[in-house]
């Protein structure tokens, strides 16, 4: 769906993007992650045709963004960090204007507006002047303009920045509802947000792509093997043997024992999901499970590990 090949961008003598390459799959929700100044917004502006790259190519659904801009942009809905709103228009007036810009046929415009208003849940404010809306509603209006032409691709640059916690959750759920209906590139500084909604993550650091993978596989590759913490309300000497007999568990270590509860740390095979087997093994022996939780690293741990490694290596892939 989207193919980025060897994209570099100079601003004068400053190199903002350095030979960045990756693909975005059809229907995928891809997270774009990196510190301020890493080149994320520059890359998004190149993907949408707002900027040209110094070298390299970007293909959108088979169309080169520079050689066939009209065909490529027809497939894109873009929500920049600051939505391009006209504050003196009502929401509905603004969306009619967007329909004109995107050359949606007149006979289809009111239906397209109604569908966009419904999808982003702003029907009740459609007659209000945009300047009088809250930040959260303005973000929703910006998202409505991005989806109104039903593009194949949505590019969302920091869509939750400046929102309160409730608004962040609402916008995140809205983005999740679009997953599968569109191919989505989603930039955010909120690591838990990226981890909760994205299929894969691209980490940009110092203008280079330093990692791309699923959050889980990045964690396994950069941080180490999977671990599980298990607490059992029994001091039976046979629990360790029962756990070691379960396929997928590589090592069993007793962490602590107190008040009749014993905590174990289990080292697992990378692809193993042993929770069901553990439950049945403990239940069949009347060993009550008090707690069982994953000790997998967060995306924050992964991000810090990847960027620290890239910094030590000078940002190499």
In a domain, 279, yes or no: yes
Full residue range of the structural domain in which residue 260 is found = 225-294
- The average confidence (pLDDT) of the chain is 89
Q: How confident is the model at residue 316 (pLDDT cuts 50, 70, 90)?
A: very low
**pLDDT of 226 strictly over 80:** no
What pTM did the predictor assign?
0.74
d(CA 128, CA 133): 8
Residue 205 phi/psi, 5° resolution?
-140, 125
Helix residue ranges per DSSP H, 148-190: 165-178
Please give the structure tokens belonging to residue 120.
Answer: 């982003």
Same domain, 17 and 109: yes
Q: Is residue 309 part of a domain?
A: no
- Is 311 part of any domain? no
On whether residue 310 sits in a domain, the answer given is no
Tell whether 135 and 162 lie within a shared domain.
yes
User: 29 and 115: one domain?
Assistant: yes
Residues 202 and 277 in one domain: no
Q: Are residues 172 and 88 in the same domain?
A: yes
Lowest mean pLDDT among 44-58, 242-256, 289-303: 289-303
Q: In which band, very low, low, confident or very high, does the pLDDT at 215 lie, cut at 50, 70 and 90?
A: confident
Asked whether the predicted pLDDT for residue 111 surpasses 90, the reply is yes
Higher pLDDT, 299 or 272: 272
* pLDDT class of 125 with cuts at 50, 70, 90: very high
- Same-domain status, 84 and 106: yes
Structure-token pair, residue 100: 């004109």
Rounded Cα–Cα distance for residues 287 and 235 (Å):
9
8 A C-beta contact, residue 58 and residue 47: yes
Q: Which residues touch 208 (CB under 8 Å, ≥6 apart)?
A: 17, 18, 19, 20, 310, 315, 316, 317
CATH number of the structural domain spanning residue 129: 3.40.50.300
The count of structural domains within the chain is: 2
Are residue 140 and residue 244 in the same domain, yes or no?
A: no
Element (H, E) at 6: strand 2-11
- 306 lies in some domain: no
Helix (H) or strand (E) holding 15: strand 14-24
- Cα–Cα distances (Å) from 218 to 2, 194, 224, 246, in that order, read 22, 13, 9, 26
pLDDT value of position 220? 64
Q: Is residue 94 part of a domain?
A: yes
What letter would DSSP give residue 181?
T
> Based on the domain organization, do 189 and 262 belong to the same domain?
no
Beta-strand runs (E) in 34-175: 55-60, 63-64, 76-79, 153-157
Q: Is the same domain home to 146 and 173?
A: yes
- Nearest CA-CA partner of 47 in 214, 213, 187: 187
Contact 154, 77 (CB under 8 A): yes
Q: What is the mean pLDDT of the segment spanning 246-260?
A: 93
* 300: confidence class by pLDDT, cuts 50, 70, 90: low
Q: Both 230 and 208 in a single domain?
A: no
pLDDT value of residue 164: 82
Q: Which of 227, 226, 200, 215 is nearest to 301 (CA)?
A: 215
Whole-number pLDDT of residue 223: 54
- pLDDT given for residue 314 in this prediction: 64
State whether 77 and 193 are in the same domain.
yes
Same domain, 68 and 186: yes
pLDDT over 60 at 91, yes or no: yes
């Amino acid at each position: 769906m989207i193919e980025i090949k060897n994209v570099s961008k100079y601003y004068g003598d400053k190199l903002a993007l350095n030979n960045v390459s990756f693909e975005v799959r059809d229907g995928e929700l891809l997270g774009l992650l990196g510190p301020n100044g890493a080149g994320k917004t520059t890359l998004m502006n190149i993907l949408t045709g707002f900027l040209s790259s110094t070298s390299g190519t970007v293909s959108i659904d088979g169309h080169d963004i520079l050689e066939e801009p009209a065909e490529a942009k027809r497939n894109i809905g873009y929500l920049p960090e600051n939505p391009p709103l006209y504050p003196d228009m009502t929401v509905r007036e603004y969306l009619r204007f967007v329909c004109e810009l995107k050359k949606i046929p007149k006979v289809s415009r009111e239906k397209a507006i109604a569908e966009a208003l419904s999808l982003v849940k702003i029907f009740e404010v459609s007659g209000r002047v945009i300047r009088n809306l809250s930040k959260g509603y303005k973000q929703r209006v910006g998202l409505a303009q991005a989806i109104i032409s039903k593009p194949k691709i949505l590019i969302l640059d920091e869509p939750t920045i400046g929102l309160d916690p409730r608004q962040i959750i609402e916008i995140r759920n809205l983005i999740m509802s679009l997953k599968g209906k569109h191919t989505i590139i989603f930039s955010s500084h909120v690591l838990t947000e990226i981890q909760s909604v994205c299929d894969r993550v691209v980490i940009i650091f110092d203008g280079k792509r330093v990692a791309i993978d699923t959050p889980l596989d990045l964690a396994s590759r950069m941080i180490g093997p999977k671990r599980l913490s298990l607490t059992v309300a029994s001091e039976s000497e046979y629990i360790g043997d029962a756990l070691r007999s379960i396929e997928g568990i590589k090592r069993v270590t007793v962490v602590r024992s107190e008040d009749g509860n014993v905590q174990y740390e289990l080292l697992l095979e990378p692809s193993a999901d042993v929770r069901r087997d553990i439950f049945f093994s403990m239940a069949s022996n009347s060993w009550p499970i008090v707690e069982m939780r994953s000790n997998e690293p967060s995306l924050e741990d992964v991000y810090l590990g990847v960027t620290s490694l890239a910094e030590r290596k000078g940002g190499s892939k």
